[in-house]
Every structure is written in C-alpha cells, then in structure tokens.
C-alpha cells in the first residue's frame, strides 16, 4: 500500500509540475504596497516582470535535476529521515504567564520559529505551530512532535516577523490564533495582501523591501536580503519577496536568516548592522539538487562568520522532514564545523528558556541517538 501511495504522489507531482509550466499570470499579490511599482524611482531593484529575484544568479533546482530530486525525496534518502520517537520538548506553561524579561532571552519553538525577548519586548519570528507544513490540514509534511506551546496560549507580542510565504514559515492557523495578541506584523513585499485576506488589520501590517527599516515601540526592525524564493500555489512563484531579519534594541542585535542559500550579502548585512549578539541560522533541508537556496551546516557556520556573529543558534531542523538526509545529520555536521571554526553555539531543546549570556550548552539529541542504537 505504501508503494501505491508513493506512486500516486509521484504522478500527482508530475501533473502539478506540468501545470506550473503554464503561468496564467494571476497578478502580483501587492495590496497597498509600500512602493508604487509604476514609479521607477521607488521600484525595488530586485523586482522584474512582477517577479522578485535574488541578487545572484539562482536556481531553485539544479538544471536537469528536477525529476531525480522528486524521486529521491519520495523513494530514497536516509532511513532515519524522521526520529524513532518524539524529540524532547520543554513545557512552556510557566513562561507564558510571565511578563517579558527585562534583559535578553529567547526560546526556540521548533523549525525556524523563535521567540525573542529584549528589554521587556517580545518578538516572534516565523511562527508555525500547526501539525503540518502544508496547504491541507490532513496531509503534507507532519511535525516530529507537537510545538512546545499552543499559539493561542502565547502572551502579548510586540512584533511578529515573517521571512517569506512558504508553508513552513507562514502558517495561516497560527496567524489566526495570534492576530489579536500581536501588536504588529512585519512581512516582505507582497505578503501583506495574504494577511489582510486572513483578517489581520491593515493598520498592524508593515511591508518591507530589502534594507527597509521600521521602528516600533523602541524596537528597530530591518528586512535584509536572503537567497531563496517564494510561492504557495501553482502560479505565484516569486510574486512575493523573501528576506532575513535584523532586530535591534538598546544596543542588542539579533539576526534571523529565514530560508537562504549562501550569499555575498551576508557580509553586506554585517557591514551595515553587525556585529550580532545572536545569529539564528538555518542548517537543514539541504540537498545537492538545490544548492543555491538552502545553506548546508558548514555554510551556516560560514554565514555566521561573514555576519560577525558572537553566538550561533541553529534553526530549521528537528521539526519537519523536508529533504533526504537523516534528521540528525545537520546538527552533527553543524557541531563539527562550529568546533573547527571556534564558533560559540547554543543548541537548546525546543521550549527551553535561554539566557544567551549565561547558558551551558548540551547536545541533547545524542542521548536519543545512543538510546536508538
């Protein structure tokens, strides 16, 4: 039966891919954009023919590798792409009843979701709390374990940052659950229209082109470049922008990579905003077929060095099966590369409250690997 299901999915993907070759031109999803796109003086320089582009030549999939990539994802890959048991999660019941910390702390919520507290302000980045990263609630990539907190139970949030519109970074049920408790939403160009359709008040939404800055309640937020792509359907690829984020408050600086491949723009970001007290950088979902759009673990450490980071926190791992490697390969490769480059790392459990200045690191996943042997 499993093989029948896999073959059905493969055929469906083939048909989907064929459909995607015929772009019906649905129009750019910009509603009341920050820029008047008819004004050449204000037009973002990475917008061409209603599609956004990267600063460097970029292939979403390596030329000629499309069908092999689909086959590998469906039928091959490491046999431990998913853990044999749920990964450890620290309950956050007490945390959500506390006021935001006066100092500096964060919680990794799984995948790329991070809650940062800076001097009594809360910033939530790429929140995804649903069981699946999918346009359907009953099928698609499923979480390895539940999130450490329910979105409805989160405390008041000063700013929500979304790096791009992929389902594992922009989750409709989560947005609906936090809509009223979030004071502001910060999104790349084009994503505001989607949030408005879901009911988020326009007054709460701030759209950003790369290098746009916004100050809200004493928090400085800047959208910085990333090397990736966007799309949630058949015909909308690259019709909205993607980005990384820089957060500054009272001298503390945080960088969040979103989804990105290797780019020379890390050094530009460092020159303009660095050095960073914390860098959250993706390490998983890499594949030889898409080297341009997803950092591998060694490249993540290289990005941290380019950015001038003080402390490096790996994200975008241990939550969803999105490539062909084992669930633990990214973190083991990451630790090796970090040690070789003398990088200070923090690898917390999901839901663990971390003071980055006073944290004793531990490699919790190795206990699971040892128990599985």
State the pLDDT at residue 133: 87
Model confidence pLDDT, tens digit, residues 70-86: 766 676 677 789 999 99
Q: Flag whether 23 is in a domain.
A: no
| pLDDT mean over 286-305 | 96
Phi then psi for residue 122, to 5 deg, are -110, 130
Residue 19 corresponds to which tokens in the numbers above?
Answer: 């459909």
Are 118 and 250 in contact by the 8 Å Cβ rule? The answer is: yes
Residue 138: which pLDDT band, with cuts at 50, 70 and 90? low
pLDDT over threshold 70, residue 139 = no
Q: How confident is the model at residue 119 (pLDDT cuts 50, 70, 90)?
A: very high
Chain-wide mean pLDDT for the chain?
Answer: 87
Alpha helices in 23-137 (DSSP H): 66-75
Dihedrals phi, psi of 298, to nearest 5 degrees: -65, -40
**Is a pLDDT exceeding 60 seen at residue 8?**
no
Identify the CATH number of the domain in which residue 190 sits.
3.60.15.10
Question: CA 227, CA 192: separation in Å to the nearest integer?
Answer: 20
Determine, yes or no, domain membership for 225: yes
Domain enclosing residue 130, as ranges: 95-372
Is residue 365 one of the residues assigned to a domain?
yes
Task: Give a yes or no: residue 158 inside a domain.
Answer: yes
Helical spans, DSSP H, in the chain: 2-20, 66-75, 172-178, 192-197, 265-273, 297-307, 329-340, 365-372
pLDDT at 97 over 90: no
Which of the four pLDDT bands, split at 50, 70 and 90, describes residue 141? confident
> What's the domain count of the chain?
1
Domain assignment present for 212: yes
Task: Indicate whether 79 belongs to any domain.
Answer: no
Cα separations (Å) of 80 from 77, 144, 321, 358, 365? 9, 12, 10, 34, 13
Under DSSP, the state recorded for 105 is E
pTM for the predicted model, two decimal places: 0.90
How confident is residue 140, by pLDDT bands cut at 50, 70 and 90? Answer: confident
Instruction: Tell me, yes or no, whether 44 lies in a domain.
Output: no
* 42 lies in some domain: no
pLDDT score, position 235: 87
- The burial class, CB within 10 Å (0-12 / 13-18 / 19+), for 187 is buried
pLDDT tens digits for range 317-366: 999 999 999 999 999 999 999 999 999 999 999 999 999 999 999 999 99
């Amino acid at each position: 039966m499993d093989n029948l299901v896999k073959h059905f999915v493969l055929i469906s993907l083939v048909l989907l891919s064929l459909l995607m070759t015929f772009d019906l031109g649905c129009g750019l999803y910009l509603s009341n954009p920050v820029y008047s796109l008819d004004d050449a003086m204000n037009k973002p320089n990475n917008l061409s023919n209603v599609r956004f582009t990267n600063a460097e030549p970029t292939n979403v999939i390596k030329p000629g590798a499309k069908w092999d990539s689909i086959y590998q994802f469906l039928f091959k890959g490491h046999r431990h792409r998913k853990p044999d048991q749920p990964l450890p999660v620290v309950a956050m019941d007490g945390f959500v009843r506390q006021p935001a910390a006066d100092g500096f702390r964060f919680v990794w919520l799984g995948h790329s979701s991070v809650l940062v507290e800076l001097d009594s302000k809360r910033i939530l980045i790429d929140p995804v709390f649903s069981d699946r990263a999918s346009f359907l609630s009953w099928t698609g990539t499923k979480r390895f374990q539940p999130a450490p907190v329910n979105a409805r139970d989160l405390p008041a949030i000063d700013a929500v940052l979304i790096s791009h519109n992929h389902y594992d970074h922009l989750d409709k049920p989560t947005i609906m659950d936090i809509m009223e408790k979030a004071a502001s939403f910060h999104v790349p160009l084009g994503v505001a229209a989607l949030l408005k359709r879901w009911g988020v008040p326009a007054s709460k939404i701030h759209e950003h082109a790369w290098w746009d800055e916004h100050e809200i309640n004493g928090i400085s937020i800047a959208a910085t470049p990333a090397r990736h792509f966007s799309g949630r359907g058949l015909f909308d690829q690259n019709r909205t922008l993607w980005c990384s984020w820089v957060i500054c408050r009272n001298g503390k600086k945080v960088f969040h990579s979103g989804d990105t491949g290797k780019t020379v723009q890390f050094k530009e970001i460092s020159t303009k905003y660095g050095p960073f007290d914390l860098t959250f950088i993706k390490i998983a979902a890499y594949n030889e077929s898409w080297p341009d759009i997803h950092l591998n673990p060694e490249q993540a450490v290289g990005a941290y060095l380019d950015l001038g980071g003080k402390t490096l926190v790996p994200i975008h791992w241990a939550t969803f099966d999105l490539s062909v490697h084992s669930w633990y390969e990214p973190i083991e490769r990451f630790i090796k590369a970090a040690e070789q480059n003398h990088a200070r790392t923090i690898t917390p459990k999901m839901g663990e409250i971390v003071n980055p200045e006073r944290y004793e690191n531990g490699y919790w996943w190795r206990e699971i690997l040892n128990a599985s042997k």
